[in-house]
Structure 1
Amino acid sequence: MAGAVDHALRLRSLWIAWLLAMLFHVELGLMPLFHGISPEIHGHVEDAQLPLLFGAMLAYFLVPLAAVVLIAYAASDPGQPRRWRHWRAGHFWLSVAYTLTNLPHLAADILVPDARADQIVLMVVMVLIGLLTNREAWLWWRDQRRPMSPSKQATWAALADARPSRS
């Protein structure tokens, strides 16, 4: 008998892979510094806007970390699917938003005249991971919307009955 697909586990793995690819993208982008070369391609951000830029970058990294934690909590609470219903829907749209933000970044990396191939490859990988995340997020959301099978209901009821009582 084949078991059910654990979309939450896949999602956690995909988000972690995406975060690692993002870190590699940033790290490799800064590698010229270690060889005395400026990593800057074109343009400057005004000093007054740097705190806003750094704050946005921090948020962009922290949101997927929060998603990994919330997915873990939702997956470890299958007896309460209604509690996590809105998170599953919101997570799907979050994953779509992240994929959509990666597409213009990929296009920009391709169109920059002195773009590096390693940066383009990492952005392609990030877009592909994003598309896989979108697919799994959709399936996870859809799976939750289906009614629980009678055998699953019985299993969860038995597990709830087997819990030691807290007196």
Structure 2
Amino acid sequence: MLSGTRHAPRLITLWITWLLAMLFHVDLGLMPLFHGQSPEIESHVPASALPLLFGAMLGYFLLPLIAIVLIAYADTAAAPARHWRPWRRIHFWFSVVYSITNLPHLIADIVVPDARPDQIVLMLALTGFGLLINLEGWRWWKQNA
């Protein structure tokens, strides 16, 4: 691993790519609405639990945005890089959690009876981007600081 490699810009790019793929996944999932069809897959979530579900999704989207900001601050800080080393460690494990959450979603998209190929392709891409984030996050964490 070269010490001159700038992992932070790579991580920012990967996280933005991941977020765009996630948005495309959601957007394409709703596309049938624009053609008079229902995008609904049989739901087992009671209506009373929907606010909690919406809040969880909000957090799921906001946390990578916060990570992007913290990565940028760590990369451009005047303080020595070692001050940001704990964040590098946290970021790596945070990215692993996100990768782990992508796997069941990918499996669910594959096994659902009316699975759509576009959704499976996007979940494969999200999983791939997540693994790249893990790899780059590991390198950033272990980089001499």
After TM superposition, give the deviation of residue 44 of structure 1 in Å: 3.6
Please identify, of 131-140 and 37-46, the stretch whose mean Cα deviation from structure 2 is larger.
Answer: 37-46
Q: Report which of the two structures shows the higher radius of gyration computed on alpha carbons.
A: 1
TM-score, normalised to structure 2, is 0.95
Deviation per residue, 1:62-85 (Å, 9 max, x gap): 000000000000000264223211
Stretch moving more, 34-43 or 106-115: 34-43
2:62 is aligned to 62
Corresponding position: 1:32 with 2:32? yes
Query: Secondary structure of 2:39's match?
Result: coil
1:1-45 C-alpha deviation (Å, 9 max, x unpaired): x98111000000000000000000000000011111111122242
Alpha-carbon distance in structure 1 between the residues aligned to 2:129 and 2:7: 14
Other-structure match for 1:109? 109
CA RMSD of aligned residues (A): 1.4
- Pair 1:124-2:121 in alignment: no
CA distance, structure 2, for counterparts of residue 29 and residue 121 of structure 1 = 12
1:8: which partner in 2?
A: 8
Return 5+ residue gaps in structure 1 as ranges: 149-167
TM-score (norm 1): 0.83
Which structure carries more relative contact order (alpha carbon 8 Å, separation 6+)? 2
Residue 15 of structure 1 aligns with an amino acid whose one-letter code is W
Partners of 1:35 and 1:69 in 2: how far apart? 38
User: What is the rounded CA distance, in whole Å, between the counterparts of 1:141 and 1:70 in structure 2?
Assistant: 14
* 1:1-167 equivalences in 2 (<5 Å): 4-77=4-77, 79-143=79-143, 146=144
Percent of counterpart pairs with the same letter? 63
